[in-house]
Chains A and B, each alone.
Chain A
Amino acid sequence: MIAFENVSFAYESGEPVIRDMSFRIEDGEAVGLIGANGAGKSTIMKLLLGLVQGEGRILVDETEVNRDNLSTIRHKLGFVLQNSDNQMFMPTVYEDMMFGPLNYMVSREEADKRVDEILDRLDLQHLKHKYNHKISGGEKRMAAIATVLAMEPEAILMDEPTSALDPYNRRIVINTIKELSQTKIITSHDLDMIMDTCSRVILISKGSIVADGKAEDILSDKELLEANHMELPLSLSRNG
């Protein structure tokens, strides 16, 4: 369970980016965070992961996120960055996947086993010993997801997981996301992907929640989306 209780946040000497925000996400839910650029989507992720500290309470499994328990919280929440190049900093995919589990004191044998299981599950065994700088953008995105899964998180947070991907790789990433059983929080402007992968959508504008409900309801509400600088998903606009 993830909960925001009256959370506010402002960067130094600036306008509030998040304003008195409250919501609750239950285990196993797949939630899409949508909104225009600068709405505060990425900041919500950062607050949740303790990368920035705001006012109010953020709870993960009833534990309040604070400086003292960041390690535990971050073990529970896996974060897939928008730019996979920033996520993959070890020389090879294998070493990158081992990085997280080893830091959380998983034995090398156990971590090794985990890596193989995940690579098998995602059909990525061929990437195992490849150099990160030598794999394609699509492969890198999948590998980034694999590095996070290797930590066996309870929830997965994804920032624009399909950005800059070609249609084929985008479909692979979407199918992979759909197969993940963990709680998922996905921020994206790719509303078709959100429609495909999330059952619930939270629409954010200027740091506040404008709408929170079923994905099909919010994503088919043309007026609501347009009022918040968004458009109907292509699949819906084509169908009339």
Chain B
Amino acid sequence: MNKMEKALNELGHMDELAVQESPVHAMNAGAKLLCTVIYILVVMSFNKYDLSGLIPMLLWPVFMYQMSGIPVRTCFYKLRIVLPLVMAVGLFNPIFDREIMLHIGNIGVSGGVISMLTLMLKGVLCLMASFLLVATTPFDNICAALRRVHFPAMLVTLLLLTYRYVGVMTEELAVMTDAYHLRAPGQKGIHVSAWGSFLGQLLLRSMDRAQELYSSMLLRGYHQHFHYAPIKPFKFSDAVFLILSIAFFAIVKYVNVSELMGMFLVR
């Protein structure tokens, strides 16, 4: 199995995760979507030096992962390629912002280090929350929920088809990579001299397949409108979940829970 096929399997695995049974999976897709969006907005709104205030926000995804039965390590494993990029954000802050803001023992910690850690944590938290949404909600349901909140139909269809076509492109890439390696034994990766034609071929082949798929859709009556599977109804428990989650976000946002706990422990 080559890397592309593995990637394809991982994509398929996401669909499988999304249809498992758990209290989180059973929730209304709209409630989960709204909660995730609010969570991300709240996380992003924290001041870049407010690391201690941000840390309690970690509790929400950890709790939700527990409830959904999806191990947190699955999230980190699946996002292993994106995570380093997110972590790299703010990497240069310690160089530009050297003002000492606090001391741990005799060691001074600069504002740059704190803001770097805050940015990293923000990135990780947003990714964890987004992954949780996708891993507990079938993609069609997310799209259906987006339509419910009147997100433009064209954009939602584009999102759904992109999700589907990623698989098509990966399949083509897998076939081409296999064909290349069978005639280039012992070679690691694809030689730079073949990149141009490789990409060109990939594009042409993907377009051909996309055209076939689109024809197949047209032949079965598709007319720019997807009939999404009905999503689970919005229940009382979804309202309670939303209210509790938003209340938690508000408390963490406006009350420095870490500081309070620290003060309580010191006393």
Contacts and interface: CB of A to CB of B under 8 A. Distances in A.
| Bound together | yes
B216 A91 contact: no
B69 interface: no
B200 interface: no
Interface stretch (B72-80, B151-159, B221-229, B231-239): B221-229
Interface string A76-95: 01110101011101010001
B209 A86 contact: yes
B221 A104 contact: yes
A193 B188 CA distance: 44
A81 B221 contact: no
Contacts of A95: 140, 229
Contacts of B8: 133
A134 interface: yes
Interface residues of B, number: 26
Interface in A31-85: 49, 51, 71, 74-75, 77-79, 81, 83, 85
A81 B227 contact: no
Contacts of B217: 89, 99
A108 B230 contact: yes
B221 A151 contact: yes
A83 B212 contact: yes
Contacts of B16: 131
B150 interface: no
A102 interface: yes
Contact of A74 (B138, B164, B213, B221): B221
Interface of B: 8, 12, 15-16, 138-140, 164, 167, 171, 209, 212-213, 215-223, 225, 227, 229-230
